Amino acid sequence: MNFSSRFPSLKQLAQVYSVVVVVVYGFSMVRFFWRVPSLINYSTSGQIGVILSYMLIVNLIESLMIVSAPVVLSVILPGKWFFDQFVTKGVLLVSLALGYAGYIASHINTEEPFPYPLFRWAPLVFILILALVFLLARVKFVAKFLEWASEQLEVFLVVSIPLTAIALIVVLVRNIF
């Protein structure tokens, strides 16, 4: 098996990427629209659009970084370990990792001390996440459900990709000219 054949297909990548997009873009959009009423008080609609554009570009970078983890595991690990069930294991990996990241984010508050114990336990949590990925992927019902759900979430790519492309053009024009 040569090196290039270890990469997942575009269809498989789209399914895993769609799960990442729903979580990352969804979280950012909720926070952005939560702040829009206050932005309206001191910003023009163009400035709000630029803020949205920068946010979408950051989301793109975050999403690509997150989806690179399952791709790297697919390339590094033997084919039977990760590549053969890339969608199921990739969706499990990014879902559990993003869930833990969300849990950590919910415990970070400016009025309270920094939650060091959550970061101290992070290596063990990530080992647990990897163990769950390999164990849950063996359950046929879970595997079929995750593949079905990731296919359904691909519809969000129809919205996120054009919006991000427009945002990329806005940011490039703004920074070049």
Cα–Cα distance between 151 and 85 in angstroms, integer?
15
Extract the residue ranges of the chain whose pLDDT is less than 70: 1-4
Cα–Cα distance between 61 and 167 in angstroms, integer?
12
Closest by CA position to 94, among listed 63, 123, 117: 63
Q: Over the stretch 62-89, which tens digit does the pLDDT of each residue have?
A: 999 999 988 888 888 777 787 778 888 8
Handedness of CA 95, 68, 17, 36 (dihedral sign): positive
Q: Over the stretch 120-131, which tens digit does the pLDDT of each residue have?
A: 888 888 888 888
pLDDT for 119 equals 80
Total Cβ atoms within 10 A of residue 136 = 16
Cα–Cα distance between 89 and 170 in angstroms, integer?
35
Closest by CA position to 5, among listed 63, 75, 91: 75
Buried b (16+ CB within 10 A) or exposed e, 50-59: bebbebbbeb
Domain extents in the chain? 8-176
